[in-house]
Structure 1
Amino acid sequence: MELLIGSVFIMVMALSLGLHLFSLPANWVVLGILALWRFMYPAQATGMDSTFFIIAGGLALLGELLEFGVQMLGAKRYGSTGKGNVGGIVGAIAGAIMGAPFFFGLGALGGALLGAFGGCLIVEIAQGRPFDVAVQSAKGAFFGKFLGMGVKFGIGVCLLVLGASHIWA
């Protein structure tokens, strides 16, 4: 029975990684599911001590930081200014929020990507940069956001594997 319940927990964690498509905090949900397992089955949660949760929480936080950090590096690599980077980050957040009602929530993904592009573009143009240079900077914000989302998803998969190894210990 414990094997079945453990399998259900792991399946729910795997399905929760799909929340990345909606720009929702999937890695934190996985961490919450692991905490629930620890609370409900303390005897089977071997190795899930406070150090485990500090490491898992650190990974989830790292995913959040890398998502925006990679976006900033991408925009910078394509010639964006610091203010353009901030515009890209704000645009990504606003785009995810505004896109969420479309396509059953999947619009948040496209909204975040287009918001990163649009936010960076608007700020770069507002600073008086030529249009073609501003577009190039905005492309960097777009590609950086896409790569950052991929890195964050990869960290979520690492959390899933780490948690599953402790659930099925």
Structure 2
Amino acid sequence: MDYILATLCIIVLFGMIGLNVFGLPGNWLAVGVLALWKLLAPAAPGMDTWFFVTIIGAAAVGEVLELGVQMLGGKRYGSTGRGNLGGILGAIAGAILGAPFLFGLGALPGALAGAWFGCYLAELSHGRPRDAARQAARGAFVGKFLGLSLKFAAGAVVAVMGSGQVWPA
């Protein structure tokens, strides 16, 4: 029975990484699943304070990197603060609108397209020429892609570390 419960928990942990595509806090939910596991199985030897500090740190780093890389991508390609905000809001809206397609996987292209369109429209509303707005939107797109990739990597760290702790010794 221990192996079945551990397998289910590991599947849930890795499934949480996929929630990041939808703009949901998948990494934080994975941390919550591990905290619940510790609550239900307090004798888990490796799940000490440092373990939780490490996985909370990894989840926090993933969030900071996602936002920071998207903003840096936009800035690198000439985006203004308004364009960056438009890219962030557009990515959230795009993920929500794209979620019903491709069995939920449409959220990823929706978020990327939303980052591009959000930044582009925000730059145009700021009075920027179309070419400059397209260039800035390209940066928001690239930044969102790289930021999501880094957030997925942080989620993988949480899931792999957690898997090692929940699997019966």
**TM superposition score normalised by structure 2:** 0.89
Residue identity (%): 56
**Structure 1 position 37 matched with structure 2 position 37:** yes
CA positional deviation for 1:137: 0.5
Query: Any idea what SS the aligned residue of 1:159 has?
Result: helix
**Structure 1 equivalent of residue 100 of structure 2:** 101
In the alignment, which residue of structure 1 is the partner of 2:47? 48
String of CA shifts for 1:2-39, please: whole Å, max 9, x gaps.
Answer: 34432332222123323234333221221122112101
Residue of structure 2 in register with 1:26 after alignment: 26
Once the two structures are superposed, the pairs formed by residues 1-169 of structure 1 within 5 Å of their partners are 1-43=1-43, 45-168=44-167
Q: For each residue in 1:91-135, what CA deviation from the matched residue of structure 2 results, as whole angstroms up to 9, or x when unmatched?
A: 111222222233332222122111110111011111111111110
Counterpart-to-counterpart distance in 2, 1:26 and 1:151: 13
How far the C-alpha of 1:141 sits from its partner, in A, is 0.1
Deviates more, 1:142-151 or 1:46-55: 46-55
- Code of the residue aligned with 2:100 in structure 1: it is P
Unpaired segments ≥5 residues, structure 2 = none
Note if contact 1:22-1:108 (Cα within 8 Å) is conserved in structure 2. Answer: yes
Q: Following the alignment from structure 1 to structure 2, what is the Cα–Cα distance between the partners of residues 108 and 11?
A: 21
In the alignment, structure 1 segments of 5+ residues that lack a partner are none
Contact conserved, 2:98 with 2:107, CA < 8 A, in 1? yes
Taking the aligned partners of 1:72 and 1:111, their CA distance within structure 2 comes to: 18
C-alpha contact (below 8 Å) 1:71/1:145 kept by paired residues: yes
Instruction: Give the superposed CA RMSD.
Output: 1.8
**Which digits, 9 at most, give the CA deviation of each residue in 1:71-102, with x for residues without a partner?**
11111111111211111111111222222233
For the residue of structure 2 that corresponds to 1:129, the secondary structure is coil
Structure 1 outlier segments of 4+, above 4 Å: none
Shift of residue 46, structure 1, vs aligned partner: 1.3
Q: TM-score, normalised by structure 1?
A: 0.89
Contact 1:16-1:26 within 8 A present in 2 as well: yes
